[in-house]
Amino acid sequence: METTEGTKKKKITGSEAVILSLINEGVDVLFGYPGGAIMPVYDAMHDYYDKLNHILTRHEQGALHAAQGYARVTGKVGVSIVTSGPGATNAVTGIADAMIDSTPLVVISGQVASSLLGTDAFQETDVVGITQPITKWNYQIKNAADIPEAIAKAFYIAKSGRPGPVLLDITKDAQFGEFEYEYKKIDFIRSYRPLPKTDYSQIDEAARLINLAKKPMALIGQGVILGGAEKEALEFLEKADIPFAYTLLGLSAIPTEHRLNIGMLGMHGHYAPNVKTNDADLIIAIGMRFDDRVTGNLDKYAKKAKVIHLDIDPAEVNKNVYADVPVLGNVKDTLPLLTEKISPNNHEEWLQEFRALINVETQKIINKQINPAEEGILMGEVIHKVSEAFGNDAIMVTDVGQHQMMAARYFKFKQSRSVVTSGGLGTMGFGLPAAIGAKMGKPDRPVVLFAGDGGFQMTIQELGTIFQSNIPVKVVLLNNSFLGMVRQWQELFFDKRYAMTELVNPDFQTICKGYHMPSELVDSREKLDAAIKNLVEQDGPYLIEVVVEKEGNVFPMVPAGASVSDIRLE
């Protein structure tokens, strides 16, 4: 057993045990908000600021999204501490977001004393019941002595297998209780199998299909990033010469400029991979889950293709798309097995088919976004310029909506774990706090947040966190005075009836001033380059508010219910 912090035959409180156990798990940054039922833990933390950097957010939702941002860029477990009742319910959105996007989190919530459980005590809520369907595991601790084991279990569960959020609810009496502390890490739970067994005959069959395929297409999901399998994926793709597309969360796993990159999948992805999905004779899905935003109408999805599905989660196999060959396991382990069995190949002709469509999209959409003819500023040109200004090598954080899809389309990447965005849950308000967490996780890399004026206002109070803790986050606020994505749908599918999507906004510059956030307004194209220069060169946090075209649309687009190959260019 490795030596552990605070292992001594001396009685300590449950609260101190919480802090020591976090330190023993290697936690050095955490995000939270104090309150009545968690006060003993905060009191214990007060003696450990040299080891634990606690970031005080302005709302528990902010604490959760910050922990998510931290986890996504570092690959470590994000940690968040909240109080009972409203503290815990405010955390729910972040927990649900982490669940659907497979983000490892440990959330510690205070709870009323065990003698009061179930009595509707002050700030009591059944947080274990509430979060049961949106956590990978949760548990209520009612005895101080159970704390070390529960925390060890929580970290093991959160980060192993397909990662996810774990919530520990600790009653106030358990925080006060005293016991002899000892910490042991856990790497086995009899009812839990994080790594499914790989069936080697499926590897053989997959290799056979890959060798036979004339029109193979690989789909890169977040599983590649979570498994740390970027190198393995690249070796596989290059040996077989297979064009690859990526999901929103698979973005940055492989550098944007790679020869085999054919773009993003799904509703607002690129033209070529969507159209060609129904031409491909083989789909190799690597650590992705065939979300409906990726597949469009399932009855018209990949109709000519056999499907090889590599995933760590057996529940994802055959969930949405039938897998002719399921390959279970961590893709970091299974991809090399596959690479070894396949023959070197060349798919230049097939690649040319993609390039032809990429050219169509470049001419009809991308060029017009990057070099617009109209007077109004477009989101695409801003994102493109910001990406280049950071050498196409920044961490990109987004909120949710049009700007998110635009950022995914126009920002470029050189290294993995450079994207923090709310994929599955589509949580508006995610961006600003997630950017805080990302910057805390990777202080040496630039972190750029793109946010819309709608989502930005959902967690705008976190500007206070940036000021208090001096976190040098770069913010690009793309302001079109609309809830743009909903407005786009209203324009296209609801006869331009703009029900409740026009926003009368505050003066964001004044708000920034109030929060001591250096900022500037870009309301004409001439001001854009200088503002971006300031954004890059300022040492501390900086915000540029860019007034963009009010009724700009994100294209291409797969309309809801349509086949991916019916993607619209306008």
To the query of whether residue 485 is one of the catalytic residues in this protein, the response is yes
Does 157 bind another protein (CB under 8 A)? Our answer is: yes
CA distance 274 to 400: 22
Residue type, 39: M
Helix runs in 424-515, H state only: 431-441, 453-456, 463-469, 484-493, 508-514
- Smallest gap from residue 114 Cβ to another protein (A): 12
Check if 122 is active-site. Answer: yes
Which one of 34-42, 124-132, 473-481, 507-515 is the stretch in contact with another protein (CB under 8 A)?
Answer: 124-132
Among positions 286-315, residues that touch another protein (CB under 8 A) are 313-315
119 is a site residue for another protein (CB under 8 A): no
In the complex, what is the shortest distance from the CB of residue 315 to another protein, in angstroms, rounded to a whole number?
4
Distance CA 74, CA 49 (A): 21
CB of 226 to another protein, least distance (A): 16
DSSP secondary structure code for residue 468 in this structure: H
CB count within 10 Å of CB 197 equals 9
In the list 26, 46, 53, 132, the residue contacting another protein (rule: CB under 8 A) is 132
- Which residue in 220, 317, 528, 531 binds another protein (CB under 8 A)? 317
Q: Left if phi > 0, otherwise alpha if psi is -120 to 50, otherwise beta: which for 85?
A: left
**191 sits near another protein (criterion: CB under 8 A):** yes
Q: Is 467 a catalytic residue?
A: no
Task: Work out how close the CB of 458 gets to another protein at its nearest, in angstroms, rounded to a whole number.
Answer: 27
Sheet with 474-479, strands from edge to edge, namely: 419-420, 395-398, 447-452, 474-479, 542-547, 519-522
318 vs 367, beta carbon nearer another protein:
318
Which amino acid is residue 474, in one-letter code?
Answer: K
Nearer to another protein, 193 or 304 (CB): 193
Q: Which structure tokens are listed for 513?
A: 């001033």
**Nearest distance in Å: CB 63, another protein:** 24
> For another protein, which stretch binds (CB under 8 A), given 190-198, 243-251, 360-368, 539-547?
190-198
Please list every residue from 412 through 471 that binds another protein, using CB under 8 A.
none
**Which stretch in 24-32, 186-194, 399-407, 417-425 sits in contact with another protein by CB under 8 A?**
186-194
What gap in Å lies between CA 111 and CA 122, rounded to an integer? 10
Report if residue 171 touches another protein, rule: CB under 8 A: no
Q: Which stretch of DSSP H or E encloses residue 544? A: strand 542-547
Catalytic one of 8, 11, 122, 538: 122
Q: Which residues face 326 on adjacent strands?
A: 309
Length of the chain (residues): 570
Residue 184 lies near another protein (rule: CB under 8 A): no
Q: What is the C-alpha separation between 487 and 499, in angstroms, rounded?
A: 8
**Interface map 136-155 toward another protein (x if CB under 8 A):** xx-xx---------------
Tokens representing residue 546 in the block: 């860019």
Indicate if 411 belongs to the active site.
Answer: no
Q: Closest CB to another protein among 9 and 197?
A: 197
∠ at Cα 333 (328, 338), nearest 5°?
80
Q: Are 59 and 33 in contact (CB under 8 A)?
A: yes
- Closest to 354 measured CA to CA, from 416, 274, 296: 274
Q: What is the rounded distance in angstroms from the CA atom of residue 210 to the CA atom of residue 229? A: 19
Residue 133 or 344 with smaller CB distance to another protein: 133
- Catalytic-role residue among 153, 159, 172, 215: 172
- If one asks whether residue 190 binds another protein (CB under 8 A), the answer comes out as yes
Calpha distance 211→214 (Å, rounded): 8
Of 424 and 484, which CB lies nearer to another protein in the complex structure?
424
Q: Give the residue with the Cβ less far from another protein, 189 or 298.
A: 189
Give the interface size with another protein as a residue count (CB under 8 A). Answer: 22
- Closer residue to another protein in complex, CB, 143/468: 143
Least distance from C-beta 76 to another protein, angstroms?
A: 20
Verify whether residue 364 is a known catalytic residue: no
Q: Compute the least distance from the CB of residue 190 to another protein, in Å.
A: 6
Residue 174 or 207: the one with the smaller Cβ distance to another protein is: 174
For residue 196, give the 3-state DSSP assignment. coil
Catalytic residue among 123, 461, 468, 509: 123
Contact 398, 421 (CB under 8 A): yes
Phi then psi for residue 196, to 5 deg, are -70, 155
CB 117 within 8 A of CB 171: yes
DSSP designation for 56:
E
Residue 188 contacts another protein per CB under 8 A:
yes
Report helix, strand and coil shares of the chain as percent, to nearest 5.
40, 20, 40
Taking the least distance from each CB to another protein, the nearer of 113 and 117 is 117
Kindly list the catalytic residues: 60, 122-123, 172, 485
Where do contacts with another protein occur on this chain (CB under 8 A)? 128-129, 132-133, 136-137, 139-140, 157, 187-193, 313-315, 317-319
